[in-house]
């Protein structure tokens, strides 16, 4: 703690260098060390958006700190808090055109959210009500494979090629796929339990975030799903990347074809508020219809929250809990249908939002939602539930995956060069009948010239 300002500034500069190389985790590490070395300099805190409060406490006139806090609150959908800060930024820096745009967008979102809340109905009818898919016509100009009452491998192979070529599915088939999968996942438990028999394997993938062409690379390297080759996609299929409908429909088609061999966990981006901000709702509207989004939304809220593989690996999108007393039995008993959206507290929110930390115990989330859990928390959870490890996703890892907490916490992230800006590798994990893990890293592949967040709310275009 006795370090000088000069030494701490040198640490901060190393963070800036890492930031320029788009190595975000290393940048945060250097910024954290700078703060630990000299905690009285406000500018150090503005480099980590979650520390903007401290920067403002040290220097209430620090415009950059208000800007960072507004950006952070916008990103985690705390729009009312963000709007107050955007107003302050515009007042203190009236020449900042970007801040004015963000303020205007934030005002629109606050009004929209208020309107949606006002018209919200607790027991709203399903978007499927009155939808006569059976008698819906397919346009005669549609040049793809036909879909009958059951999914076929031929149809999936055709849709893979259609999506590669920028083509869409007939709307009737989109409705059929979503409705069929919604019916399947509603019957699954909150925690699906699967064993790997001889001759089988399971491939576990993390976030894909609408990066369809990188999903194709996963299937090229890992092999496509079959009865013997199971898959688990661990949430965040959609948002940010601009081929989210393609990924969601393809994963759903495989789920329909292999209902007991292909598994989908819900992520924090399979939720309405995130989909409205980060592109999936806009993409559904642009490529199909508002009703398609509403059906996807219903199906997302029915997805399982976790998968237990061989009673050894607990796989969920975010991470562990605020209470050590929570066990796998509590997850089994969790009624995920009581609330469609995760809210700001409770087991569902924690399963979708929490992150690991290096220090023991629990700490506040750097996201502003959920919490962070240390290696001791993971160790106790694994010992209590006789687990080898937890497998989670939810965070970019520069190498595509990371094994931490003494091997008990494994993060896998499957969207390489995330948002066309991060430079990270992607990864997936194969688990064999002996329950051994094999990690495969891969690089991003070229894709058509459509930028990430193409369908997102305008206020988030610069907050990737």
Residues with catalytic annotation?
269
Alpha-carbon gap, residue 195 to 184, rounded angstroms: 19
> 152-155: long-range contacts at Cβ-Cβ below 8 A with a sequence spacing of 24 or more?
152/257, 153/257, 155/253
Q: What is the CA radius of gyration of the chain?
A: 23
Could you identify the residue written with the tokens 């509603």? Answer: 186
Alpha-carbon gap, residue 18 to 425, rounded angstroms: 16
- For residue 430, give Cα distances in angstroms to 197, 312, 433: 14, 14, 10
Q: Which residues are registered as beta bridge partners of 411?
A: 392, 402
Alpha-carbon gap, residue 90 to 84, rounded angstroms: 10
- For residue 55, give Cα distances in angstroms to 30, 47, 50, 83, 237: 17, 10, 10, 19, 35
Q: For residue 287, give both structure tokens.
A: 């490529």
* Helices first, then strands: H and E counts in the chain: 17, 14
Q: What is the DSSP string of 130-186?
A: T---TTPPPPTT--S----SS--HHHHHHHHHHHHTT----HHHHHHHHHHHHHHHH
Alpha-carbon gap, residue 357 to 360, rounded angstroms: 8
């Amino acid at each position: 703690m006795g370090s000088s300002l000069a030494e701490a500034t040198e640490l901060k500069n190393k963070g800036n260098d890492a930031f320029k190389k788009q190595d975000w985790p290393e940048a945060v590490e250097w910024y954290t060390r700078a703060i630990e070395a000299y905690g009285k300099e406000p500018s150090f805190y503005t480099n980590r958006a979650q520390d903007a409060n401290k920067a403002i406490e040290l220097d209430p006139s620090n415009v950059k700190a208000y800007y960072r806090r507004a950006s952070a609150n916008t990103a985690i959908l705390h729009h009312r808090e963000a709007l107050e800060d955007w107003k302050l930024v515009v007042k203190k820096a009236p020449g900042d055109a970007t801040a004015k745009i963000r303020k205007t967008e934030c005002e629109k979102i606050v009004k929209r959210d208020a309107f949606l809340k006002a018209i919200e109905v607790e027991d709203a009818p399903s978007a499927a009500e009155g939808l006569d898919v059976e008698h819906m016509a397919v346009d005669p100009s549609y040049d793809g494979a036909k879909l009958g009452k059951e999914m076929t491998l031929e149809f999936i192979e055709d849709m893979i090629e259609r999506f590669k070529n920028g083509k869409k599915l007939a709307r009737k088939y989109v409705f059929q796929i979503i409705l069929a999968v919604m019916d399947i996942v509603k019957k699954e438990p909150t925690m699906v339990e699967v064993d790997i028999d001889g001759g089988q394997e399971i491939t576990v993938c993390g976030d894909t975030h609408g990066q369809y062409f990188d999903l194709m690379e996963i299937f090229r390297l890992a092999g496509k799903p079959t009865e013997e080759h199971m898959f688990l996609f661990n949430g965040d299929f959609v948002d940010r990347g601009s081929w989210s409908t393609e990924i969601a429909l393809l994963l759903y088609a495989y789920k329909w074809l292999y209902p007991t061999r292909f598994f989908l966990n819900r992520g924090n981006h399979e939720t309405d508020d995130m989909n409205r901000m980060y592109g999936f709702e806009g993409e559904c509207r642009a490529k199909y219809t508002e009703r398609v989004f509403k059906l996807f939304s219903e199906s997302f809220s029915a997805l399982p929250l976790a998968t237990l593989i061989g009673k050894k690996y607990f796989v969920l999108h975010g991470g562990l809990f605020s209470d050590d007393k929570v066990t796998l039995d509590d997850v089994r008993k969790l009624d995920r249908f009581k609330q469609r959206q995760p809210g700001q507290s409770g087991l569902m929110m924690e399963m979708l939002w929490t992150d690991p930390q290096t220090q023991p115990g629990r700490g506040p989330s750097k996201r502003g939602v959920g919490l962070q859990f240390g290696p001791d928390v993971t160790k106790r959870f694994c010992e209590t539930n006789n687990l080898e490890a937890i497998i989670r996703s939810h965070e970019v890892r520069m190498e595509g995956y990371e094994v931490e907490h003494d091997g008990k916490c494994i993060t896998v992230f499957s969207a390489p060069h995330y948002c066309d800006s991060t430079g990270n590798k992607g990864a997936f994990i194969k688990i064999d009948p002996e329950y051994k893990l094999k990690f495969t890293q891969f690089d991003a592949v070229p894709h058509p010239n459509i930028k990430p967040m193409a369908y997102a709310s305008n206020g988030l275009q610069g907050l990737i």
